[in-house]
Structure 1
Amino acid sequence: MGVFKHEMEATSPLPTARVFKAFVLESDTLFPKVAPYAIKGVEYLQGSGGPGSIRKVTFAEGWGFEYLKEKIDEIDQDNLSYTYTVIESDLFKNLIEKISYDTKFVAAPNGGTICKISTTFYSVGDIEIKEEAIKDSLQKRARVFKAVEEYLLANLDA
């Protein structure tokens, strides 16, 4: 199995607790509402949102892939961190075994939030995963992040 790691940071002017709540605790309902061009729906196949739960995310037509199934590994509300693993997707195409995400939400000096995201791709066999091959997926993820952020900024009571 080949392993490829990608580190990135995203910033938001919103408070850390609010960003964590939106992107972790409310993502099931908020993402399809705010970014229907990307996410069609989220359903739990096992569990109800806590560690060990498995959920299926269905993407909108034309998004580039149809679905993914992810297992929630850990939600740490005290330390504002979230870990999950994509265990199945039509995106994988027999090249990727799984993708693990470790996200930490930390306070920025300006009162906003820095989201530190560590992504680990595990390839099937010795297949090498090149960074440019995952660039599109990461850009799509960033578009959803910005859509949610814009919604929260426009609806501070949401």
Structure 2
Amino acid sequence: MGVITYDMEIPSSIPPAKMFKAFVLDGDTLIPKILPQAIKNVEILEGDGGAGTIKHITFGEGSAYKSVKQRVDAIDKENFTYSYTVIEGDVLMGTFESISYHIKIVASPDGGSICKNRSIYNTKADAQVTEEEIKSGKEKASGMFKALEAYLLANPDA
């Protein structure tokens, strides 16, 4: 098995606590509302939302994938960190054993925040991953984060 790691940072004008609440704590209901073409719904299969929780995500009509199962690995509401692993689904494309994401939202000097995301792709045997596949995933994640930011800016009481 090979391991491929990518880091990405996405700046936002939204303060860390508000962005973490929207993106992580309320994300399962908020993201399908804001981006139904990307994510149709999120269902908790087991757990209470904390570490060990298994979620089933059904993607929207605009997605190339149908669904995915992910496991919450860790969540720290005080330090705005969240880790989860994709454990099943067509997004693994038969190429990956799993994909883990480690998210940390930190304050930026301008009063906003920076979403720091580390993605760890665990490939099967000697499977190869193209730069384009990784770039596509990064663009989708960034687009989701920016759509959430736009929603929060347009709905300051949300």
Superposition TM-score, scaled by structure 2 size:
0.96
Residue 92 of structure 1: how far off its partner (Å): 1.6
User: Aligned partners of 1:62, 1:114: CA distance in 2, in Å?
Assistant: 27
User: Aligned partners of 1:137, 1:115: CA distance in 2, in Å?
Assistant: 15
| Aligned twin of 1:113 | 113
Q: Percent identity?
A: 49
Unaligned runs of 5+ in 2: none
User: Aligned partners of 2:44, 2:25: CA distance in 1, in Å?
Assistant: 14
Residue 140 of structure 1: how far off its partner (Å): 1.6
Alignment coverage as a number of residue pairs: 158
| Aligned twin of 1:66 | 66
**Matched AA of 1:65:** Y
Aligned with 1:91: secondary structure? helix
User: Aligned partners of 1:13, 1:81: CA distance in 2, in Å?
Assistant: 18
| Aligned twin of 1:24 | 24
Aligned with 1:33: secondary structure? helix
Residue 136 of structure 1: how far off its partner (Å): 1.5
Unaligned runs of 5+ in 1: none
User: Aligned partners of 1:119, 1:92: CA distance in 2, in Å?
Assistant: 13
| Aligned twin of 1:40 | 40
| Per-residue CA distance 1:68-109 (angstroms, 9 max, x = gap) | 111001001111100110111212221111000001110000
User: Aligned partners of 2:48, 2:30: CA distance in 1, in Å?
Assistant: 16
| Aligned twin of 2:86 | 86
Segments ≥4 residues shifted beyond 4 Å: none
| Per-residue CA distance 1:45-70 (angstroms, 9 max, x = gap) | 11121110000111112311111111
User: Aligned partners of 1:133, 1:110: CA distance in 2, in Å?
Assistant: 33
